[in-house]
Amino acid sequence: MANTSELRSEIRAIALPVILSNMAIVLFETVNVFWLGRLGRDVVAGIGAASFITWMIFSSTNLTSRGTTTFISQFFGKKELGECREVAKEGLVLSLLLSLVLLVVLLPLLPFLLDMMSLKGEVWQSAFDYLFIFTLGLPSIILFTVTGNIAIAYGDAKLSTRTLLVSLLINAILDPFLIFGWCGLPAMGVKGAAIAWIFAEIVGLALRLAILVKSGYLEISGWSKAFNFPRWASMVKMGWPPTASDMIFSMVYPLLTSYIVSFGSAPLAALNVCHRIEGIPYFICMGFSAAASTVIAQRIGAGQPEQAMRAYRMNLRSITLALILPSLAFVFIPGPLISLFINDPAVVAVGCDYLRIIGIFEVFLGWEIMTEGAFGGTGNTLPPMLIRMPLTLARIPLAAFLGGFLGMGTNGIWLALSLTTCLKGLAIVFWFLKGRWSRLKIIQSLS
């Protein structure tokens, strides 16, 4: 049985590399916005609008990734490495099929989705150009994500981090060459940024697959057995609740966008910039979420539910402490943070209001994200969905009430986002601490 220091070391070994990975993503996105910002405010707003749809697409990866990682971690805790490798293959094949379905379905829907957000002119065109190429690259994007999650499920977060850093470096180098046409290359603008991303993902995917095989986490042979329909069904059963709640979360933002743009393009550009700033605490949350998911799943697989609960409480304390500094920065120095990305006075003013409001409630975001990962480790993914979905949907009428009926404008929208985040964080922590998840026997049911 692991003692407190051993549990803390395991959590740190997963959380810190994942946080580093996500900080690198923030740094890359900072560089990306810097280059795209030279193309104008409308381009930045268009990419911001496109990000709402890419979130929706990324959320669909939970349909296969959530079950894959839970099975691997629990089998790893049970010391059944052969089953871990089989699950990895099954998850990759199912993820590839999912990506192809999404590609075929989404391509003709892109214009409709952008029209639904009431985008016009260059904002609409920039979003479409970016999303069209992004959608064509979905197989590589989704498989790159899933292979990274497979490594983390084994507890090897460093593998995922190193390969991500290579991919981001390639992307960052290519960006200005393809966006502005350096060294005689054609200047492709937004399209160039998307092409650079897809190329970097393909290289990163090839590297990850090679290292997974070399590390013994994945086998080259036996892929015909990867069409394991009973286990696929179990993966989807675990994956559909977080997928559904994330899809609703992602769909709410495009609906809110149509309301936000009624106040002009500055609030939308401010939201895009602030989301990149908020990416720092958000990705800290994701690091502890990954740690909670992996460590809790491994303890459950080893038949140690009490250790799983101890790991959860450690993560809860850690994420609370980790978010204090970002929260204070958002509340007291929002202007300098936003000015790092853009100097438009209107955008900075709206962005300052956003950061001050959400900064007060940032800790609850951490509780929500980390605890959702903890539930994922148990295999019981339904409770987070039952909490997140109604409160996320409530953002639309609440934003209309605060922003329109009470006349708070965009501040009413930001407050609606923050209040619902607070309620989600409180409710999901309370549910997990009740401990009913300890009755589940996920891998035993398939053995």
Instruction: State the 10-residue block means of pLDDT for the chain, 447 residues long.
Output: 79 93 79 80 84 82 93 94 95 96 94 86 91 95 95 94 93 92 89 93 96 94 89 94 87 80 85 85 93 94 91 95 95 92 87 94 96 94 94 94 89 94 97 80 52
Distance, in Å, from the CA atom of 229 to the CA atom of 276, rounded to the nearest integer, reads: 39
Q: Are 403 and 417 in contact (CB under 8 A)?
A: no
DSSP 117: T
Q: What is the pTM of this model?
A: 0.85
Per the structure block, which two tokens stand in for 97?
A: 């099929």
- pLDDT tens sequence across 237-268: 999 999 999 888 877 877 887 788 888 888 88
What pLDDT does 442 receive?
58
Q: Measured between alpha carbons, how far is residue 298 from residues 13, 80, 81, 91, 442 in Å?
A: 14, 11, 12, 18, 12
CA 191 to chain centre: 23
Per the structure block, which two tokens stand in for 266?
A: 């500055």
What pLDDT does 443 receive?
55
* Helices then strands, each counted (H, E), the chain: 19, 0
Backbone torsions φ then ψ of 407, nearest 5 degrees: 70, 25
The closest of 2, 52, 39, 9 to 306, measured between CA atoms, is 2
Residue type, 100: L
Helix (H, G, I), strand (E, B) or coil at 186: coil
CB atoms within 10 A of CB 172: 17
* Count of positions (residues) in the chain: 447
Alpha helices in 154-260 (DSSP H): 157-180, 190-214, 229-260
Q: What is the average pLDDT score of the chain? A: 90
- pLDDT tens sequence across 37-88: 888 878 888 888 888 788 778 888 889 999 999 999 999 999 999 999 999 9
What pLDDT does 259 receive?
84
What pLDDT does 447 receive?
45
